Amino acid sequence: MIIQTVRESAAMVVSLSGRLDTVTAPDYEKKFDELISREEINFVVDFDKLEYISSAGLRVILATSRRIKGKNGKIHLANISGNVKEVFEMSGFAGIFPVYGTVAEALKMITG
């Protein structure tokens, strides 16, 4: 999995590509640890190029989100489609997180 980050004025945009699974979930966790340690608390996670997510991926998103919430921050999800969307819907994740059609929509929502 490749993780790219771009600092926008409203939030840190984290773009994922490839697979978020048992093997790569620790990479996701590590990246967020690093960002949180830099006092980042608002995030938009872009799933546009993510091909596959397993329950290990869902768990790491949930665990990271709880930590961010503990710092009064929030995680927003964008561009969830295809197989990844199916997994989100099946697991009930779609109702836990704010989900947006695009990164721009998510950023607009954060800015208010």
Partner 1 sequence: MIKIEHLSKNFGSLSVLRDISVEIKEGEVISIIGPSGAGKSTFLRCINLLDRPSSGSILIKGINILDPKIDVAKVRQKMNMVFQAFNLFAHISVLENLTIAPMKLLGKSRESAEKKAHELLNLVGLSDKAGSYPDELSGGQKQRVAIARCLAMEPEVILFDEPTSALDPTMINEVLSVIRRLARQGLTMLIVTHELDFAKDVSSRVFYLDEGGIYEDGTPRQIFENPQKEKTKAFIKKQESFYQHIVSSNYDLYALIAEVDCFCSRLMVNVQSRKNLMVLIEEVLQLFRKSTLSFPLDMTVNYEEKTEMLELLFEAPPGSVNPMLTESGDNGSALPAIESRLQSQEYRQLGGRNRLSLYLKKP
In the list 26, 34, 49, 55, the residue contacting partner 1 (rule: CB under 8 A) is 55
In the list 10, 17, 48, 54, the residue contacting partner 1 (rule: CB under 8 A) is 54
Q: Which of residues 64-83 bind partner 1 (CB under 8 A)?
A: 83
CA angle (23, 75, 83) in 5-degree steps: 50
Q: What is the rounded CA–CA span in Å between residue 109 and residue 18?
A: 27
In the list 3, 62, 94, 109, the residue contacting partner 1 (rule: CB under 8 A) is 62
Closer residue to partner 1 in complex, CB, 11/88: 88
Does position 4 interact with partner 1 (CB under 8 A)? The reply is no
Does position 23 interact with partner 1 (CB under 8 A)? The reply is yes
**Residue bearing tokens 């927003």:** 76
Other residues' Cβ atoms within 10 Å of the Cβ of residue 28: 21
